[in-house]
Structure 1
């Protein structure tokens, strides 16, 4: 099968998504910073926000997004012909920027950190950098 890189992207998205979720859950449990709650938050998505989902369903939503993002980013990595440590650096940078772009949604919910909560933002960005590192490491030498 010539598209086995897609399977690498799916696997990396599942592993990276689980690690991101576990990291932010541990931070929230230990510090009280609502960063895991933010990761699972759907308050700002019309229609979806009208239902209260069980924690497992919220986590599955997160994993679906993680897999889609991972496959798209791996496709971009392959298109730019990156290999090795360049992949890791690029994916850490991109995913940290994604974390920055997502952060403002904290203002759309009472359950998430305040937009000016710099400690929570630091943990949030550390989690997204970790996610990028995992994706990069798992896909640093992916070929067709």
Structure 2
């Protein structure tokens, strides 16, 4: 249970870092990759939840927490849970691929916005580093 709570905290911490990074990109460049963090309009059942802004944040943080917990235990099965590189690789590749879910939405960014994909993917690389480094330090 102690690890579960720490992993939840790490998910919240790294998820906040990801928000900050993509918000800075939004402010400095105007790129809309940030919007995708909170977009759940393509997911049946939850797409109609209101207020959208609140459930967007809940969606983002629940996704972060679940992914951190799941990846930790997957890596633990291979005795890799304390290595930072697997977290960076999984979140970079996974985030880069998940970007294209934006094609299912009417909200920006467009699926063919190369710079949004770059910002999104780099943001997820940093997220992966934050997760891996935090796990290495706190678990």
User: Does the alignment reach a TM-score above 0.5?
Assistant: yes
Residue 102, structure 1, aligned to residue 124, structure 2: no
Q: Does structure 1 conserve the Cα–Cα contact (< 8 Å) formed by 2:49 and 2:55? A: no
User: CA–CA distance in 2 between the matches of 1:52 and 1:30?
Assistant: 30
Q: Does structure 1 conserve the Cα–Cα contact (< 8 Å) formed by 2:80 and 2:86? A: no
Q: Deviations over 1:96-129 (max 9, x none)?
A: 1111221111112221212221111100001100
Select between 65-74 and 42-51 the one with higher mean Cα deviation: 42-51
Please, which runs of 5 or more residues in structure 1 have no aligned partner?
none
Q: Does structure 1 conserve the Cα–Cα contact (< 8 Å) formed by 2:109 and 2:116? A: yes
Residue 137, structure 1, aligned to residue 136, structure 2: no
Q: Which residue of 1 aligns with 2:86?
A: 90
Residue 36, structure 1, aligned to residue 39, structure 2: no
How many residues are aligned here?
139
Match of 1:114 among 110, 135, 138: 110
Please, which runs of 5 or more residues in structure 2 have no aligned partner?
none
User: CA–CA distance in 1 between the matches of 2:55 and 2:110?
Assistant: 25
Query: CA RMSD for the aligned pairs?
Result: 1.8
Residue 77, structure 1, aligned to residue 75, structure 2: yes
Q: What TM-score, normalized by structure 2, do the two folds share? A: 0.89
Match of 2:25 among 24, 27, 35: 27
Q: What TM-score, normalized by structure 1, do the two folds share? A: 0.86
Q: Which runs of at least 4 in structure 1 moved beyond 6 Å after TM superposition?
A: none
User: CA–CA distance in 2 between the matches of 1:53 and 1:35?
Assistant: 21
Q: Does structure 2 conserve the Cα–Cα contact (< 8 Å) formed by 1:83 and 1:141? A: no
Displacement after TM superposition at 1:11 (Å): 1.2
Q: Deviations over 1:44-69 (max 9, x none)?
A: 11232234424233112211111111
